[in-house]
Chain A
């Protein structure tokens, strides 16, 4: 079952620009998480936002959560070439003890 859907599927920007990715989901959640995956590697946890939080920051990352719209966004400011990766949102639905991942946004930062 696919809970989260990321938009856009692919994003290409110039180094230094900001990158915004969106995630929509279907059911009520306990929390929403964002992960990064470099090509051919495992996923790395970036940030977790709880259902009672609206915004969270971590370094150059800013995540927002709108539970009324069942959507979240991930903003990466001042992008760097090293930010090139796929980004996934994952949701923990209420009552479920597992995460469900979206299909990801493939981000390319051009030097």
Chain B
């Protein structure tokens, strides 16, 4: 049963703590992405990775970090430097960012609340 999993679904943290969000895919996709969604808003790109051991900053990378040590995994760390971390975080993957068939497959999301 192929897909993208994100865990946990809900995450609560105290201000000043780093927190890591998990994203795993078994679709054999090369590219993976992290987005942030605020209430009533669209998605904003945080980081993306087109290949293992390589990743690029998106539009709102400040206060976040990622790693891509395995093709299947792309964890996101929300650091204490992120000024407003409370949001809904979505992970996605796609087969080949250079091809016509560029649809992205999304995980169910992690809702992070920082107090």
Measuring CB to CB, which residues of chain A are less than 8 angstroms from any residue of chain B? 1-2, 4, 30-31, 33, 35, 40-45, 48, 50, 88, 92, 97-104
Establish whether residues A33 and B103, one from each chain, have CB atoms under 8 Å apart when the complex forms. yes
User: Given the complex, which residues of A lie within 8 Å of B88, measured CB to CB?
Assistant: 40
Chain B, range 87-115, C-beta contacts under 8 Å to A: 88, 90, 92, 97-98, 100-109, 111
User: Given the complex, which residues of B lie within 8 Å of A101, measured CB to CB?
Assistant: 35, 42-44
CB distance from A88 to the nearest CB of B (A): 6
Least CB separation from A99: chain B residue? B104
User: Given the complex, which residues of B lie within 8 Å of A99, measured CB to CB?
Assistant: 45, 102, 104
Establish whether residues B107 and A97, one from each chain, have CB atoms under 8 Å apart when the complex forms. no
User: Given the complex, which residues of B lie within 8 Å of A31, measured CB to CB?
Assistant: 100, 102
The verdict on A48 contacting B102 (CB below 8 Å), with A42-B90, A101-B43 known, is: yes
Establish whether residues B101 and A48, one from each chain, have CB atoms under 8 Å apart when the complex forms. yes
Is B41 among interface residues, defined by CB-CB distance under 8 A?
yes
User: Can you list 20 contacts pairing A with B, beta carbon distance less than 8 Å?
Assistant: A33-B102, A40-B109, A42-B4, A42-B108, A43-B43, A45-B103, A45-B104, A45-B105, A48-B103, A92-B102, A97-B31, A97-B50, A97-B97, A98-B33, A99-B45, A101-B35, A101-B42, A101-B43, A101-B44, A102-B42
